[in-house]
Structures are given as structure tokens and as C-alpha cells.
């Protein structure tokens, strides 16, 4: 197990280096730092001096990958690639265009993201699985068909509609909760209620149907027939046997997103004005702050790889036959 984990972590490095090379290529080779400077300073009538100054301020005035003038290790370390990309491995993300430390910003913004994303995830998962199990229980009846039709309808609606519609109904028409905003502590409850609700409803269609497919696949297997032959009630069969055996496919899809909850949701956070990582990312994209975007890409990849490792570990927890070597 330990050896397996170490190997997986070592295996993560080539992938992260690949991610870095890719973003580096996108951000520095497709466009030179000169282009970026011109973009930031306004397209027309930018003097070469101003460009040089901007590059110096933001640390883009070094050679891209290989510094021929420097000596020894400096040949590699005194370059844009090293400064901007390799440093990320120790979570040193540098500074955003408005001069703030990106790593510190990420630290403070993780909590609000999590406050929204975690309840959405937990409530959603429980609701979707229950809903799917109910559809499985009533499979082939009108209820099942209605359930599937509802799912298909719900998943055909744009995610933007859930947010805009929800904000309009709950915030503006019925005045249940504030339309947007965020506060720390107990006050946050009234702010997170609506985003969580919308997040849960928005995922119901696709997830409900997905879990139903998983359960239906399980229910045709032999052990289910044996369980029924023993005289177990259908409910016991579903919750006691089918749910447990469907754990592997469920975990495959679910565990991998758990670390990514830290990243927050782009849309929800920006619509509800929640100062989390999702709105941070959107703001950075809209302000064309490439330093922040690069940092978020790296962070996202790290969390994804952590998610993959967690998935493997979770298999051993639900299925004793799985051994990691």
C-alpha cells in the first residue's frame, strides 16, 4: 500500500511537468511576453520602453527556457520557465497583475469555495442516489418513466438558467434569501442556502439518470436473484445488496471530484458574489491575468491527480478483493 502510494506520487510528477510544459507553451511560446505586455498596456501606441518596463516588473524579461549568459545552474534556473513554472511545484505561484501574492490569495479563498461546494456535493450525492434507487425500485412503471423523463428534461436546461431563475424566484420574487453576497460565520447560512439548492437541483438530471443506469446494470446479476430467492424484500435487496455492489462504479465517478471541490464552481460563485476560487478564476480570465490562470491550472491538475489516488484507495475500502500493490 505504502509502496503503491509512493509510486503513484512519483508518477504524478511527469504528468505535472507535462501540464506545466503545455501551459508554458500556450502562455509564452504561442504569444511572446511582448504580446502580453502590449495586451495589458493597451494595444496601440505602446512604446518599447513601456513594454520592457512591464516585462521587468512582472519578471518576464528573462530568456524563456535556456539562459546562455548565466553560469552553472543559472543557465536553467534564471529563465522564465523556471521562475514561472517549476516554482509552482512548491506552491510558489508568484504575484498577480495587481501585485498580490497568488498563493496567499488562494489560501484565503479556499474556505468560501468549500463552504458552498461541500454541502452541494454531500446533499446532492445523497439525493441523487436515493432518487435513482427509487426509480430502480419502481422500474418499468409509470413512476420510473416519469422520473427518467424528468431527468432528461432537467439535464436539457442550461446551468445558467437554474442560477438566473433561482436567483429571480427566491431572491427577487419571494424575498427568501439575499440574491448574492457572502459573510463568514453563522451569517453565511442564509447566503449559502440558495447556491447549494441550485447546485443540487442543477445536477439532478444527469446524475440521477447516471446512477439509475448503474443500479439497473447491477440488478440483472445473479446475486440479486439469489437474494430474492432467499425471500428478502425488494427494499432490502436494493439497499443491502445492490447499493453495496454498485459502490465501485459510483466511487469511480465521485471520489475523483472531491479534491476538486476546493476549486469551487465558476458559475455559482461568480453569480452569487462568493469570494472563492471559482470567482477568482473567472475574474482572472476576464482581466486576462495569466499568472493567476496558470496557478489555477496547476492547482486543478494537482487536485485531479490526488483525486485519482483517492479513488484507488477508496476501492480497497469498499471491496476487500481489491489490493493495491
Partner 1 sequence: MMPFMPFMPVVLWTDALIFLLAAMILAGAWHIKKWPHLMLPWQRVARSSIGMVSLLVLSLFVWVGLLDTLHYRAALPEKNNGQTVYSAEVVSVLDTLANGLKTRTEKTYSAPLAVYLYAKESMEKPDGKVLRDYPRLRFGGAHLVNIERDWLGDVVQKTVLGAAAGLLFGLMLAGVVWKIFTRLQTQKQPPTLSSTRKDNPSLALLIATLVLATFIGAVAYLSSFYHVLGTDKVGQDVLYLSLKSIRTGLVIGTITTLVMLPFALLLGIAAGYFRGWVDDVIQYIYTVLSSIPGVLLIAAAVLMMQVVIEMHPEWFDTSAARADVRLFALCLILGVTSWTGLCRLLRGETLKLREMEYIQAAQAFGVSSTRIITRHIVPNVMHIVLIAVVMEFSSLVLAEAVLSYVGVGVDPSTMSFGTLINAARLELGREPMVWWTLVAAFGFMLTLVLAANLFADVVRDAFDPRLNRTE
Q: Per CB under 8 A, does 13 bind partner 1?
A: no
Q: Per CB under 8 A, does 96 bind partner 1?
A: no
Strand, coil or helix: what is 244? helix
Q: Per CB under 8 A, does 158 bind partner 1?
A: yes
C-beta closer to partner 1: residue 1 or 149: 149
Q: How far, in Å, CA of 50 to CA of 27, rounded?
A: 20
Which one, of 16, 22, 23, 27, lies nearest residue 288 by Cα? 27
Strand, coil or helix: what is 60? coil
Q: How far, in Å, CA of 163 to CA of 79, rounded?
A: 44
**Residue whose entry in the numeric block shows the C-alpha cell 443540487:** 200
**Cell numbers linked to 62:** 528573462
| Contacts with partner 1, 24-43, as mask; x by CB under 8 A | --xx--xx---xx-xx---x
Binding-site member from 58, 85, 301, 314 for partner 1 (CB under 8 A): 301
C-beta closer to partner 1: residue 15 or 310: 15
Shortest CB 94 distance to partner 1, Å:
16
Binding-site member from 101, 108, 226, 288 for partner 1 (CB under 8 A): 288
Q: Per CB under 8 A, does 4 bind partner 1?
A: no
Q: How far, in Å, CA of 31 to CA of 34, rounded?
A: 8
**Residue whose entry in the numeric block shows the C-alpha cell 523556471:** 82
Instruction: Give me the DSSP letters along 175-206.
Output: --S-SS---SGGGHHHHHHHHHHHHHHHHHHH
Residue numbers of the site for partner 1 (CB under 8 A)?
Answer: 14-15, 18-19, 22-23, 26-27, 30-31, 35-36, 38-39, 43, 152-153, 155-161, 164, 168, 172, 260, 263, 266-267, 281-282, 285-286, 288, 290, 293-294, 296-297, 300-301, 304-305
Amino acid at each position: 500500500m505504502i509502496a503503491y502510494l509512493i509510486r503513484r506520487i512519483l508518477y504524478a510528477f511527469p504528468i505535472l511537468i507535462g501540464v506545466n510544459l503545455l501551459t508554458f507553451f500556450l502562455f509564452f511560446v504561442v504569444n511572446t511576453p511582448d504580446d502580453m505586455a502590449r495586451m495589458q498596456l493597451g494595444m496601440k501606441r505602446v512604446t518599447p520602453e513601456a513594454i520592457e518596463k512591464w516585462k521587468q516588473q512582472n519578471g518576464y524579461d528573462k530568456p524563456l527556457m535556456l539562459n546562455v549568459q548565466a553560469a552553472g545552474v543559472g543557465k536553467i534556473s534564471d529563465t522564465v520557465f523556471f521562475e514561472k513554472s517549476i516554482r509552482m511545484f512548491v506552491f510558489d505561484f508568484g504575484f498577480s497583475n495587481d501585485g498580490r501574492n497568488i498563493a496567499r490569495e488562494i489560501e484565503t479563498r479556499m474556505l468560501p469555495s468549500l463552504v458552498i461546494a461541500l454541502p452541494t456535493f454531500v446533499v446532492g450525492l445523497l439525493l441523487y442516489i436515493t432518487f435513482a434507487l427509487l426509480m430502480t425500485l419502481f422500474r418499468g412503471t409509470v413512476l420510473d418513466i416519469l422520473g427518467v423523463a424528468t431527468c432528461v428534461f432537467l439535464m436539457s436546461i442550461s446551468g445558467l438558467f437554474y442560477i438566473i431563475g433561482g436567483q429571480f424566484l427566491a431572491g427577487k420574487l419571494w424575498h427568501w434569501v439575499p440574491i448574492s453576497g457572502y459573510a463568514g460565520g453563522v451569517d453565511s447560512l442564509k447566503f449559502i442556502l440558495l447556491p447549494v439548492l441550485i447546485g443540487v437541483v442543477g445536477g439532478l438530471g444527469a446524475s440521477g439518470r447516471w446512477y439509475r443506469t448503474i443500479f439497473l446494470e447491477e440488478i440483472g446479476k445473479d446475486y440479486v436473484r439469489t437474494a430474492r430467492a432467499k425471500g428478502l424484500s425488494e427494499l432490502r435487496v436494493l439497499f443491502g445488496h445492490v447499493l453495496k455492489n454498485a459502490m465501485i462504479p459510483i466511487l469511480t465517478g465521485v471520489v475523483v471530484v472531491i479534491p476538486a471541490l476546493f476549486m469551487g464552481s465558476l458559475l455559482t460563485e461568480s453569480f452569487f458574489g462568493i469570494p472563492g476560487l471559482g470567482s477568482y478564476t473567472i475574474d482572472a480570465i476576464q482581466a486576462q491575468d495569466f499568472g493567476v490562470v496558470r496557478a489555477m491550472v496547476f492547482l486543478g491538475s494537482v487536485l485531479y491527480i490526488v483525486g485519482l489516488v483517492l479513488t484507488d484507495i477508496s476501492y480497497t475500502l469498499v471491496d476487500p478483493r481489491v489490493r493495491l500493490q
